[in-house]
Structure 1
């Protein structure tokens, strides 16, 4: 597998996001520039060629009108002294082209430079009776392309050949093409540099975030500093990743504490059971009272161990949130929890609840209520006043008339395995209220504890107000069981 990955890495080397961004930016810009250059060149070439052709035809049309209006002979188009212009000079000056004069029967009277070819059509035009008769064609002379027009002087007197070289136009277009290519190359380089610069600014934070993620995956350290600057999506990603690492670190710390605390709490009953088990080898030698005390102690420690394991399992299951939420009537759930607590404790319990309906996990909420009731009965075990359950909306609380909670213990009553000094002699693992807190937090609420006016404690929890649904049942009030 590793060799395959190595070969794939050689065949397909990884490119950084900055390189990909810069190349993409350069390619898109180059393609756009090239397309624009090609379209511009084609448009310019078409316009230049059409313009040159229009100029040439305009000169030929002027020559046509000139010979049609005047009776001209070939000698009128001969070259004259520099201080006097002839019609030939006007033609050459206007379009910078070659002019050649033909006499009768197409005989060349004065050659152009370069000499223009005389074809049968040219000789026919020179012999044509109508002045202004014109023929057009294209030809190649000494490797250069020319436009040629032959205009008859009329009466068979001859003709004038006018030629315009394509080379001037093509030279201009060739220069335009070279400039376009040069400009495209410059734009490509500038686009690549701009893309690289933008990639460093935009993708730089992503690269740093990727390195942090790789470091976390390699080292397993969750306290790594995460770059979270910026209000854009990259900044949001960084903040989300930082929050995720924080949650993972907190979860890891909770798990570590849970294992440590659970190990500490399990050690006591297991040690006691181990010591008692060592006495089983000579149980027949023990006095009857010692034998009964040994068996009772083993039963008590086993029961404590079972309760502790069950609460650990419940706490872990509550953290996973495996149970699906459903619609529940809190008053009905409270009655079920109260009935269970009455059977276990024999205490009188009053329920005062409205008709609130919520969407929650019923087993988890009932477990939290049961823990609150058993906690109240445990700390108020000699009390005669009833335990009270009050439900208003998504606010649930259990009231007792026990000794209350010391001010120093109030902030820690929901900690796992925490037991106040006054409670160390009482049965329990210190997980009951921790489960209440976990259920409340899992439902978007909080757990609370305070002392009750006149003595006792009030401990309860709230659920997310958004989980409340339209009520469907009548309120339940002052539901009580007969005292034991």
Structure 2
């Protein structure tokens, strides 16, 4: 069997809001009506009690009443009983009673006897007459001056004087509460419909995007309420998705363009070698060596491009291996040894101070290798490459042609290459990987013109860390796993 809570959750949000508003108003109205009724009843009871307590018969009236009861004669002028109240009764200590005025005798309670005997001055209580009338009874002790007799005088008024107004008030409050609850239900439904209209619009846009995959749709976000904030957040999300989709498409297009050139050249060289084998026309040894060297270089370029694409395709928050404390100076030294092999005609100088960072050793080595490869690629024959690591700032200085100032804002973009670099090998992804790796380690990367004005470029890699490893870290160099490019 389905529980009430489950059935409530199964209702549409609009119905749930309307129902909650109705219930909340109903509870509030019921509470106000109940408190009002209780306060009015207390006020009326208090007024009735004050009315009885204010009735104090004087000596002459009491004597007349007492004598009338003793002699069983009429009590005198009718206005004596009327002056005291609707019902007046004389009570003796032994429980005897004598009705002076009213429709029915009042029952004598123990409290009334105590008052008549002089044990108490007064008593105030409820009683029910023989005909079923509920009365509020006030009994006061009286003693005649001359005779010294002690007895009680009970004065009573019907509780119907307050019960009838209370009954009328209860019906009025019930009617008003019913009207209020119905009105609250209608108002709650209207408020739910009005308040959820922006949510309906948002739902329509989401369904449209899911159906058409059109991420250019925007939701109106006027105002500063929660719905407007939700709309702005959704617009930001769709804008980010559209930008990611555009970058993905651009990456595929650029990768296809970059792959086409080495593949075309590779296919041409292989076709020449295959035609030579098919026709039996031998290619001169020198030309054959050049073709094979070209095929090897193009395969190496393809492998490097595919590796760069794999690196860039990884999410920023998904490193290959867990981050750990690594020695950046050791990584720079390993990368520098590889750079010397790739530029044997260049002069390398280095000054590497100890610096320990938290990051992924393989990714950091790849980034440093890319920076050094750029320096090797753009250095003139016999040129110098200067490498320094001071306080977490790794600087690689070459003496090549430098980068035009107008090109500096684009150097870290994917597949971007300056006019002077397009004739050189490479895919334009190396510096993108450098910037990505630095950001993942909490640092930054920068390319700038050499500070001394002698030409060339400085590549600066800044990664936060410390000159000494933390006590729990292993200060030994990390093994390099960067493949040859």
TM-score of the aligned structures, taking structure 1 as reference length: 0.73
- 2:329 counterpart of 1:340: no
User: Which runs of structure 2 are paired with 1:344-423 in the superposition (5 Å)?
Assistant: 344-346=342-344, 347-380=346-379, 382-423=380-421
Mapped to 1, the partners of 2:397 and 2:404 lie a distance apart of 16
Deviation at 1:10, TM superposition (A): 12
Asked whether the equivalents of residues 107 and 127 of structure 2 are also in contact (C-alpha less than 8 Å), the reply is: no
Q: What whole-Å deviation, never above 9, does each CA across 1:19-76 have from its counterpart, x for those lacking one?
A: 54454344234323323432442343245335425644664x6389942587532655
Deviation at 1:429, TM superposition (A): 1.7
- Give the SS at the match of 1:288: coil
Deviation at 1:259, TM superposition (A): 0.6
Unpaired segments of 5 or more residues in structure 2? 1-5, 476-485
- 2:166 counterpart of 1:168: no
Asked whether the equivalents of residues 33 and 173 of structure 2 are also in contact (C-alpha less than 8 Å), the reply is: yes
- Given the superposition, is the C-alpha separation of residues 395 and 238 from structure 1 closer, same or farther in structure 2, using an over 3 Å criterion? farther
Asked whether the equivalents of residues 106 and 127 of structure 2 are also in contact (C-alpha less than 8 Å), the reply is: no
Asked whether the equivalents of residues 78 and 101 of structure 1 are also in contact (C-alpha less than 8 Å), the reply is: no
Deviating more after overlay: 433-442 vs 197-206: 197-206
Q: Which residue of 2 aligns with 1:44?
A: 40
- Give the SS at the match of 1:409: helix
- Given the superposition, is the C-alpha separation of residues 136 and 67 from structure 1 closer, same or farther in structure 2, using an over 3 Å criterion? farther
Asked whether the equivalents of residues 78 and 110 of structure 1 are also in contact (C-alpha less than 8 Å), the reply is: no
Which among 6, 12, 15 is matched to residue 14 of structure 1? Answer: 12
Mapped to 1, the partners of 2:194 and 2:201 lie a distance apart of 12
Mapped to 1, the partners of 2:12 and 2:335 lie a distance apart of 61
Mapped to 2, the partners of 1:233 and 1:420 lie a distance apart of 47
Mapped to 1, the partners of 2:214 and 2:384 lie a distance apart of 52
Asked whether the equivalents of residues 64 and 134 of structure 1 are also in contact (C-alpha less than 8 Å), the reply is: no
User: Which runs of structure 2 are paired with 1:75-94 in the superposition (5 Å)?
Assistant: 77=75, 86-92=79-85
Q: Which residue of 2 aligns with 1:481?
A: none
Which among 10, 13, 28 is matched to residue 24 of structure 2? Answer: 28
- Given the superposition, is the C-alpha separation of residues 394 and 174 from structure 1 closer, same or farther in structure 2, using an over 3 Å criterion? farther
- Give the SS at the match of 1:223: coil
- Given the superposition, is the C-alpha separation of residues 325 and 271 from structure 1 closer, same or farther in structure 2, using an over 3 Å criterion? same
Q: Which residue of 2 aligns with 1:314?
A: 311
Deviating more after overlay: 29-38 vs 181-190: 181-190
Q: Which residue of 1 aligns with 2:173?
A: 180
User: Which runs of structure 2 are paired with 1:451-462 in the superposition (5 Å)?
Assistant: 451-452=449-450, 453-462=453-462
Which among 254, 258, 265 is matched to residue 247 of structure 2? Answer: 254
- Given the superposition, is the C-alpha separation of residues 52 and 65 from structure 1 closer, same or farther in structure 2, using an over 3 Å criterion? farther
Q: What whole-Å deviation, never above 9, does each CA across 1:269-299 have from its counterpart, x for those lacking one?
A: 2233334444526515132325444434333
Mapped to 2, the partners of 1:65 and 1:389 lie a distance apart of 126
Asked whether the equivalents of residues 222 and 246 of structure 1 are also in contact (C-alpha less than 8 Å), the reply is: yes
Asked whether the equivalents of residues 391 and 467 of structure 2 are also in contact (C-alpha less than 8 Å), the reply is: no
Deviation at 1:260, TM superposition (A): 0.6
Which among 439, 442, 450 is matched to residue 440 of structure 2? Answer: 442
Deviation at 1:446, TM superposition (A): 4.0
Which among 273, 281, 284 is matched to residue 286 of structure 1? Answer: 281
Q: Which residue of 2 aligns with 1:302?
A: 299
- Give the SS at the match of 1:327: strand
Mapped to 2, the partners of 1:404 and 1:292 lie a distance apart of 34
- 2:122 counterpart of 1:139: no
- 2:456 counterpart of 1:468: no
Mapped to 2, the partners of 1:258 and 1:179 lie a distance apart of 75
Q: Which residue of 1 aligns with 2:425?
A: 427
- Given the superposition, is the C-alpha separation of residues 434 and 164 from structure 1 closer, same or farther in structure 2, using an over 3 Å criterion? same
Mapped to 2, the partners of 1:293 and 1:129 lie a distance apart of 140
Asked whether the equivalents of residues 276 and 283 of structure 2 are also in contact (C-alpha less than 8 Å), the reply is: no
Mapped to 1, the partners of 2:191 and 2:104 lie a distance apart of 61
User: Which runs of structure 2 are paired with 1:137-286 in the superposition (5 Å)?
Assistant: 138-139=127-128, 144-147=133-136, 163-185=156-178, 187-188=180-181, 208-230=201-223, 236-279=229-272, 280=274, 282-283=276-277, 285-286=280-281
Deviation at 1:230, TM superposition (A): 5.0
Q: RMSD of the TM alignment (CA)? A: 4.6
Mapped to 1, the partners of 2:107 and 2:410 lie a distance apart of 116
Length, aligned pairs only: 439
User: Which runs of structure 2 are paired with 1:41-120 in the superposition (5 Å)?
Assistant: 41-49=37-45, 51-53=47-49, 55-56=51-52, 59=55, 62=57, 66-67=61-62, 72-73=67-68, 77=75, 86-92=79-85, 97-98=86-87, 112=102, 115-116=103-104
Q: Which residue of 1 aligns with 2:483?
A: none
